[in-house]
A and B are shown apart, each in its own frame.
Chain A
Amino acid sequence: MSADLALELEDVVFRYQEKGRRNILDHTSLTIPAGTLTVLMGGSGCGKSTLAAVAAGLYPENGGFLESGIIRLYGQDLKTLDPQKRAAYLTVLFQNPDLQFCMNTLREEMRFCLENICIPAGKMDERIEQAAAELGIAPLLDQPLSTLSGGEKQKAALSCLYVMESRCILLDESFANLDHEAAIQLLEMLLRMKASGRTILAIDHRADLWLEAADEIILLEEGGRVAARSINCKNLPEHRADFERLGLFYPGSRSERTVARPAEGKPLLQFRGVSIRKGLPTRRKWGRPVYDAPFLVQNTDADFPAGCMTAVLGPSGTGKTTTFLSVLRQHPYTGQILFQGRDIEKMKLKELYRHIGIVFQNPANQFVTQNVEDEVCVGLRLWEPGLSDEACRQRAEELLDRYGLKRQRRYSPYMLSQGQQRRLAVLSVLAGGQELLLLDEPTYGQDSRSVNAIMEHLREKVEQEGLTVIFITHDTELAAAWADKIYRLEDTMLVEKTAGEVL
């Protein structure tokens, strides 16, 4: 029990169902020295997020059942600390960028944080302004939080932690929605925080970014147990086998480039002079909407060839998600979007959705059943009405197994880890029979094994069934490796890039 340990877990046993048989944290013991930068890696669903919540004292307070174990923050038993004191030691940046906020704007949210830790009212503005300047988030301060893009939300959440100045911060996959430049910028800021004596604990599926700065990489396996630790950039090669065994991304290794097929098929989806504005019309005049928000996309042409995989890259907040919504006619645009040469404005919504499927950036919004297996079956059944119950279940099980979800097949989709939820969302949409799939960051938050499972499945469908896929990603390597065509959304234009250019 030493005070130079920031976090100490001793033989912790935790599970979500009190009477369940499966312990998510199964005799987990872990120590994190104070003042270090540590990266935690582990397969999707191995219990990293759970560990974070337990370490912060949020579980079992808010759910789950802690059977045994002791947790200490800077030598203090967690049980003796109330949320206010805990926050002084440890704060968490959650994996899901939505649902982290309780106020309307970032400025108010930061005030709320400062109020919680009893900062005098007179000092608040000063701290907020300083954080805004340091983190470059001044433009976001007064925008309603619910309208921020995924990456912007993560930045906002991080700046809340920044102003709170707690001694240890735990980041759960917080760079996953950010482009490379933004991630570097935040990393520099984290390093400054570390230099001032703070402890940083990052959960991430990719260690590349952290490698140089990290004091230690810890690998977790099923049950949240430590599989290997004290990994750093020097002894990394010795641990390659561990990474591979656990299905994790080995830093520096590139996924092999699949042979890109020349993207010369007839375009399935075409943009002709498309312009999209930020947000919704703010007011109406004579019953017609008036837009005064800036353009996200302006007068852009683009072709998405049939039977190909097209990647869309671009910095956070440039309007990738919004563009997808426009294709689904859920967001206003001007110009023409053509599907198979037909203007989508002229198609009935119902007809459009028979051709186009989507996986949203936040998968939890799209589950339609209360059971993982049913979720897949819904897709299968709808497209093959003749399928017998038995056959349907069997097919669903095969698919789930492929995605490493078989064990959870009787779970509710909401009881899955973030990565598992996303896999299920992709799977359930792939089970349908649409010709065009829009995937909004399908591989975000996945380990290497799952990324390959998803991308191979997509590739297979593209090659065998002529499916057309457009996916948004921040992962340039992924785009370079798998996409037949790459667009980058920059300066309000969709610009075509080659694999070499984006890397």
Chain B
Amino acid sequence: MLERWNPTVKAFTVLVCVILLSFEYLVSLNLLVLAVCLLLLVFCSRVSLKKIGVILLPACVAAFGLFVMGLYYARGGSTQIVDMSSLSAMPYSVRAAMSQNLYTALQLATRLLAYAGLGILFALSTEGDFFIASLLHQCHLPPKFAYGILAAFHLMPGMAREYAQVRTAFAVRGLKMGPLSMKPVFTMLVNSVRWSESIAMAMESKGFCGEAPRTYYTVPRVHWYDLAIAALMVGGVVLGMLFLNL
């Protein structure tokens, strides 16, 4: 199960894969990575298809944007000629230019999709608290930072509600504001400062102290299988780079 894969190892695996991919422009490898990530998510995690779809959509939009940009404005020098006969209605010059660019465009777009696949693999199968706990124990993130992040993370859902309430308050008080008005944002910022103070005080009053030793209810560990999956994934990408390039 992807959920049980140690988050720190998972994050590093994703990062290594991304950096490796950034050295290559292999459309096939990119698509392969995307496919593997999605398959892993579908078959080895509890994530629903709908969730994958929802998060994949903006990625596709961004990839399409990059694709169009590549198509129009790729830097010259692409040597791959793609068969453009299907677009024969276009004037020859356009076709020629586009056929050169098409490959570049595909390279850019699929690369972004491959990144998205890796990112989603992490994002959807990792629970926030577990990730932070893992950073705390595996990366020695100081508890002050770890719990600070956690507190802010847990404030997030409340934040949306709070923002709605601030907007209601403004509306009820009869103050005009457009959707872009900075006023509620400023109020929220004031609230953020206040919250940071109150929550810090509450945490300290509960005995939290950045430096003193503390016990932990659960301590995430790195098992052999965490590293094995990591090695498999990175190895797969390296192999892909070697062989698909031929």
List residues of A whose CB falls within 8 A of some B CB.
53, 56-58, 61-63, 82-84, 86-88, 91-92, 94, 96, 98-104, 108, 111-121, 124, 144-146, 160, 164, 328, 330, 349-350, 353-354, 356-358, 360, 364-368, 370, 378-379, 382-383, 414, 428-429, 432
Q: Which residues of A contact B168 (CB under 8 A)?
A: 328, 330
- Given known A111-B217, A121-B218, A368-B175, contact A104–B154 (CB-CB < 8 A): yes
CB <8 Å contact, A160 and B171: no
Chain B positions 175 through 207: 1 when the CB is less than 8 Å from some CB of chain A, otherwise 0: 100000001000100110011011111111111
CB <8 Å contact, B207 and A117: yes
Give B216 Cβ to nearest chain A Cβ, in Å: 6
- Given known A112-B208, A364-B191, A414-B190, contact A94–B202 (CB-CB < 8 A): yes
CB <8 Å contact, B205 and A102: no
CB <8 Å contact, B165 and A146: no
CB <8 Å contact, B194 and A414: yes
CB <8 Å contact, A353 and B201: no
Interface presence of B174 (CB below 8 A): yes
Interface presence of B19 (CB below 8 A): no
CB <8 Å contact, A366 and B169: yes
Nearest CB in chain A to that of B194: its residue: A414
Interface presence of B209 (CB below 8 A): yes
Complex A-B: 6 CB contacts under 8 Å: A62-B200, A63-B197, A83-B204, A83-B207, A84-B208, A112-B206
CB <8 Å contact, A330 and B216: no
Q: Which residues of B contact A366 (CB under 8 A)?
A: 165-166, 169, 172-173
Q: Which residues of A contact B215 (CB under 8 A)?
A: 114-115, 118-121
- Given known A84-B209, A87-B205, A414-B194, contact A368–B129 (CB-CB < 8 A): no
Nearest CB in chain B to that of A163: its residue: B206
Interface presence of B157 (CB below 8 A): yes
Nearest CB in chain B to that of A329: its residue: B168
Q: Which residues of B contact A350 (CB under 8 A)?
A: 171
Distance A353 CA – B177 CA, assembled complex (angstroms): 14
Q: Which residues of B contact A61 (CB under 8 A)?
A: 204
Q: Which residues of A contact B162 (CB under 8 A)?
A: 365
Selected contact of B214 from candidates A94, A104, A118, A354, CB within 8 Å: A118
Distance A156 CA – B200 CA, assembled complex (angstroms): 18
Interface presence of B213 (CB below 8 A): yes
Q: Which residues of B contact A98 (CB under 8 A)?
A: 198
Interface presence of B124 (CB below 8 A): no
Contacts A62-B197, A365-B166 given; 8 further ones with Cβ under 8 A? A53-B201, A87-B207, A100-B199, A101-B202, A104-B154, A115-B216, A118-B213, A357-B173
CB <8 Å contact, A378 and B175: yes
Distance A378 CA – B177 CA, assembled complex (angstroms): 14
Interface presence of B150 (CB below 8 A): yes
Interface presence of B151 (CB below 8 A): yes
Chain B positions 215 through 229: 1 when the CB is less than 8 Å from some CB of chain A, otherwise 0: 111100000000000
Q: Which residues of B contact A84 (CB under 8 A)?
A: 207-209, 212, 214
Interface presence of B161 (CB below 8 A): yes
Q: Which residues of A contact B155 (CB under 8 A)?
A: 146
CB <8 Å contact, B173 and A379: yes
CB <8 Å contact, A102 and B207: no
- Identify which of B194, B207, B214, B216 gathers the most chain A CB atoms within 10 Å of its CB: B207
Distance A428 CA – B169 CA, assembled complex (angstroms): 12
- Given known A83-B208, A160-B206, A378-B175, contact A103–B190 (CB-CB < 8 A): no
Nearest CB in chain B to that of A370: its residue: B190
Q: Which residues of A contact B204 (CB under 8 A)?
A: 57-58, 61-62, 83
Distance A100 CA – B205 CA, assembled complex (angstroms): 10
- Identify which of A53, A98, A368 gathers the most chain B CB atoms within 10 Å of its CB: A368
Q: Which residues of A contact B169 (CB under 8 A)?
A: 360, 365-368
Nearest CB in chain A to that of B162: its residue: A365
Interface presence of B77 (CB below 8 A): no
Distance A366 CA – B166 CA, assembled complex (angstroms): 6
Distance A103 CA – B190 CA, assembled complex (angstroms): 22
Nearest CB in chain B to that of A58: its residue: B201
Selected contact of B158 from candidates A146, A160, A360, A367, CB within 8 Å: A146
Selected contact of B207 from candidates A144, A164, A428, CB within 8 Å: A164
CB <8 Å contact, B154 and A103: yes
Q: Which residues of B contact A117 (CB under 8 A)?
A: 207
CB <8 Å contact, A87 and B173: no
CB <8 Å contact, A99 and B157: no
Interface presence of B164 (CB below 8 A): yes
- Identify which of B170, B195, B202, B208 gathers the most chain A CB atoms within 10 Å of its CB: B202
Distance A120 CA – B216 CA, assembled complex (angstroms): 8
Chain B positions 74 through 98: 1 when the CB is less than 8 Å from some CB of chain A, otherwise 0: 0000000000000000000000000
